[in-house]
């Protein structure tokens, strides 16, 4: 075990980023076009990074697995994006956003990074507005704000329930503008399957063309990974169907440390599962908790009754009861765990008993249907469509689902991994959210990383390292390509004879993860999970059934490769959860809770980032980055 250094700049918190920017070396304008940069991923992080790097003059190659960069998973974000503009004049500031984020993350994130995130947040809004992103506005023409996800100030900017879509289209258009200018080349329907390292430095990637099956080599002076989170390890989640951990995991196997894999966010307001065929879960934006009231019947005997027939006195608005100060707006982990508890008590509603009500009756009565429709119309519409129930008439039924992963590849202050030349941005890195992410802060982080941080830090890297051109004929490319081909061949050869489909094994993995590495974890459960995951991995490599061949479009083959990686990452998640003998944020160990059932952190022992190294034998070694809190005092989160 070694101690990791984040290379955060010296100086007071509010000066750190400026200081670093001033110290950085610049790449001469004429030289920029000679430097090729690979950006993998076209979500908010990758789209904005590739656009900005292209605009700065670098030669950029941009990769994504979808058929167009516009379809990255970021498109699905609904609720909004935070910034400290303080337009509503309700006392917001950079410090307050920083503090909320650190506290919301249960004091498990790095001060310097989190502060910088709050610092650049306002630039993001200015940038997006300049691009023509149609944020919600007031009648007077100014931008509208709302309070979101447990914040006590209104700092969330939004575009109806489609904030991610509009921000992503802004970044996508900026990206295509660089395509128009000849600065960026797009490689859509390409999956990165390996990282190529030469002399310990990231120098390229191996991709598979998902239409033709061709294996391709791409060399560069720096690789920026923006490939999103690993929530799909759980099979059912709110993430898009193709979201995956493959690119990050393969970098991990080439030496990049994976940090805090056990930090997973389970979002409280999702549409409950309805059957075994289900392929994903749909999020109902958290903004709904601003006006909706969460409840279950006080008494089990009422659970079958139509909710409208249950009188006020028989309803348990459990969040309002337990947390009078924050009520329905407690952070996500708290809201989710409490939903689980009431369902475990047998007071859950709906066909499966795994749901709670989110009721708009009072909001409609107080504000009028029109106002509610204006705020949430498209969400109500979506709910109605999926469940065939009208939320204007009956309360929504909701249940927690895996939504976001705070863990990810370890990066330093400049968002570079421990492999020189490999940068990681957006949800794929671990950096800013600690053990729990606050609502409307992932969009902020993705765009902060992509527009305002990575473009400078990549330049600093290029200016400081003497990077020689490499050819894709280099033997490191040969070796990586061979490994990629071997894995595909092996999967297909097992796949011909196998008996269980990729989806069947994948669903089993998801179930193990939900039951034992989910909302609430125990030592015993985690040990069992580990064994079960290893067994599933063996089952996969000995008995998976995969149709078709590798020389054309083959969705199941793609998925098989991703599931193979999830089956490895899942084990590391269990190991990390086992080692972290405390409860913090989204990581709740039943052994570590207060008498009132709230999470108990163990700061003396666990105030660190666990960054895992993979070794050749498939074992993991942990490296620790101690978290130093010089500016905030560690406190126990209380939302009472």
Ligand X SMILES: Cc1cc2nc3c(=O)[nH]c(=O)nc-3n(C[C@H](O)[C@H](O)[C@H](O)COP(=O)(O)OP(=O)(O)OC[C@H]3O[C@@H](n4cnc5c(N)ncnc54)[C@H](O)[C@@H]3O)c2cc1C
CA distance 39 to 56: 14
Question: In angstroms, what CA-CA distances link 205 with 414, 598, 616?
Answer: 21, 44, 20
- Residue 30: phi and psi, rounded to 5, are -70, -25
Q: How far is the CB of 118 from ligand X (least distance, A)?
A: 14
Three-state secondary-structure class, residue 63: strand
**CB of 569 vs ligand X, minimal distance in Å:** 13
Using the rule CB under 8 A, give the single segment among 88-96, 122-130, 353-361, 574-582 that binds another protein.
122-130
- Does 67 contact another protein by CB under 8 A? yes
Buried b (16+ CB within 10 A) or exposed e, 232-241: bbbbbbbbbe
Binding string, residues 268-307; x marks residues near ligand X by CB under 6 A: ---------------x------------------------
Give the pairing of strands 222-225 and 36-40.
parallel
Structure tokens at 370: 């029109």
Q: Applying CB under 8 A, which part among 260-268, 272-280, 518-526, 561-569 lies near another protein? A: 272-280
Q: Using alpha carbons only, give the angle 243, 247, 249 rounded to the nearest 5 degrees.
A: 100
Name residues contacting ligand X, limited to 245-264 (CB under 6 A).
246-247
Q: Which of residues 461-500 bind ligand X (CB under 6 A)?
A: none
Q: Whole-angstrom distance between the N-terminal and C-terminal Cα of the chain?
A: 39
Using CB atoms within 10 Å of the CB of residue 140, give its burial: 0 to 12 exposed, 13 to 18 middle, 19+ buried: exposed
User: H or E element: which one contains 18?
Assistant: helix 16-23
Give yes or no for residue 52 binding another protein (CB under 8 A): yes
Number of residues that bind ligand X (CB under 6 A): 45
Among 16, 20, 35, 73, binds ligand X (CB under 6 A): 73
Cα angle 507-511-516, degrees, rounded to a multiple of 5: 150
Shortest separation between residue 164's beta carbon and ligand X, angstroms: 5
Among another protein, ligand X, none, what binds residue 43 when CB lies within 5 to 8 Å by partner kind?
ligand X
229 binds another protein (CB under 8 A): no
- Using CB distances below 5 to 8 A depending on partner kind, what does residue 203 bind out of ligand X, another protein, none? none
Q: Is 177 in the site for another protein (CB under 8 A)?
A: yes
Say whether residue 593 binds another protein (CB under 8 A): no
Contact flag: residue 237 with another protein (CB under 8 A): no
Under the binding rule (CB under 8 A), the answer on residue 275 touching another protein is yes
The footprint of ligand X on residues 7-46 (CB under 6 A) is: 40-46
Residues 6+ apart with CB under 8 A from 152: none
Report the SS3 class of residue 450.
Answer: helix
Region of 397 please: left (phi>0), alpha (psi -120 to 50) or beta: beta
Q: Is 76 in the site for ligand X (CB under 6 A)?
A: yes
Residues 113, 631: contact at Cβ < 8 Å? no
The 413-452 site mask, x for binding another protein (CB under 8 A), equals --------------------------------------xx
Q: Which of 20, 35, 71, 116 forms a contact with another protein (CB under 8 A)? A: 71
Write the Ramachandran bin of 107: left for phi over 0, alpha for psi from -120 to 50, otherwise beta: left
Q: How far is CA 269 from CA 379, 506, 516, in A?
A: 12, 24, 21
Query: Taking CB under 6 A as the criterion, which residues in 183-222 touch ligand X?
Result: 190-192
Residue 121 within binding range of another protein, rule CB under 8 A: no
Q: Which one of residues 152, 282, 522, 550 is an interface residue with another protein (CB under 8 A)?
A: 282
What residues are labeled active site?
332
Q: Which residues bind ligand X (CB under 6 A)?
A: 40-46, 63-66, 72-74, 76-81, 163-164, 190-192, 226-228, 238-239, 243-244, 246-247, 283, 403-404, 426-428, 440-443, 446
């Amino acid at each position: 075990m070694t101690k990791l250094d984040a290379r955060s700049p010296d100086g007071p918190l509010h000066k750190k980023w400026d200081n670093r920017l001033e110290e950085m070396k610049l790449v001469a304008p004429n030289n920029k076009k000679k430097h090729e940069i690979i950006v993998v991923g076209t979500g908010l992080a990758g789209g904005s990074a590739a656009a900005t790097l292209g605009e700065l003059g670098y030669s950029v190659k941009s990769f994504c697995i979808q058929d167009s960069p516009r379809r990255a998973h970021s498109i699905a974000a609904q609720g909004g994006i935070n910034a400290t503009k303080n337009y509503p004049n309700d006392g917001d500031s950079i410090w307050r956003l920083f503090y909320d984020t650190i506290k919301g993350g249960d004091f498990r994130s790095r001060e310097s990074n989190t502060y910088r995130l709050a610092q650049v947040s306002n630039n993001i809004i200015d940038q997006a507005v300049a691009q023509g992103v149609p944020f919600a506005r007031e009648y007077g023409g100014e931008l509208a704000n709302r309070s979101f996800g447990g914040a006590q100030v209104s700092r969330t900017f939004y575009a109806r329930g489609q904030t991610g879509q509009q921000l992503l289209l802004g970044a996508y258009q900026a990206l295509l503008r660089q395509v128009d200018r000849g600065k960026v080349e797009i490689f859509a329907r390409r999956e990165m399957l390996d990282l190529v390292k030469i002399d310990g430095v990231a120098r390229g990637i191996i991709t598979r063309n998902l239409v033709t099956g061709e294996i391709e080599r791409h060399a560069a002076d720096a690789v920026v990974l923006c490939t999103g989170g690993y929530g799909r390890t759980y099979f059912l989640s709110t993430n898009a169907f193709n979201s995956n951990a493959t690119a990050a995991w393969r970098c991990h196997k080439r030496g990049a440390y994976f940090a805090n894999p056990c930090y997973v966010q389970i979002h409280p307001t999702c549409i409950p599962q309805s059957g075994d065929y289900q392929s994903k879960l749909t999020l109902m934006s958290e903004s709904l908790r601003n006006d909706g009231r969460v409840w279950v019947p006080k008494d089990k005997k009422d659970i079958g009754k139509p909710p409208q027939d249950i009188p006020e006195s028989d309803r348990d608005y459990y969040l309002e009861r337990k947390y009078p100060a924050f009520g329905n707006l407690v952070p996500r982990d708290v809201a989710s765990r409490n939903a689980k508890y009431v369902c475990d008590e047998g007071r859950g509603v709906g066909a499966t008993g795994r749901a709670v009500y989110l009721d708009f009756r009072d909001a409609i009565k107080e504000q009028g249907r029109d106002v509610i429709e204006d705020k949430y119309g498209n969400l109500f519409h979506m709910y109605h469509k999926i469940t065939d129930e009208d939320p204007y008439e009956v309360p929504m039924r909701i249940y927690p689902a895996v939504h976001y992963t705070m863990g990810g590849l370890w990066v330093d202050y400049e968002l570079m991994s421990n492999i020189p030349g490999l940068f990681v941005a957006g949800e794929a890195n671990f950096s800013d959210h600690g053990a729990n992410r606050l609502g409307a802060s992932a969009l902020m982080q993705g765009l902060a990383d992509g527009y305002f941080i990575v473009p400078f830090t990549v330049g600093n890297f290029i200016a400081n390292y003497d990077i020689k051109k490499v050819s894709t004929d280099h033997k490191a490319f040969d070796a990586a390509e061979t490994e990629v081909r071997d894995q595909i061949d092996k999967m297909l050869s097992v796949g011909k004879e196998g008996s269980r489909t990729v989806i069947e094994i994948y669903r089993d993995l998801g179930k193990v993860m939900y039951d034992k590495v989910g909302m609430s974890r125990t030592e015993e459960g985690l040990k069992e999970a580990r064994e079960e995951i290893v067994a599933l991995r063996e089952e996969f490599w000995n008995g998976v059934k995969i149709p078709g061949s590798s020389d054309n479009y083959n969705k199941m083959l793609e998925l098989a490769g991703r599931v193979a990686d999830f089956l490895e990452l899942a084990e590391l998640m269990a190991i990390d959860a086992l080692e972290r003998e405390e409860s913090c944020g989204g990581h709740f160990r039943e052994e570590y809770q207060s008498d009132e059932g709230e999470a108990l952190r163990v700061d003396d022992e666990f105030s660190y980032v666990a960054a895992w190294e993979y070794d050749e034998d498939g074992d993991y070694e942990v490296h620790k980055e101690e978290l130093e809190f010089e500016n905030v005092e560690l406190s126990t989160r209380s939302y009472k």
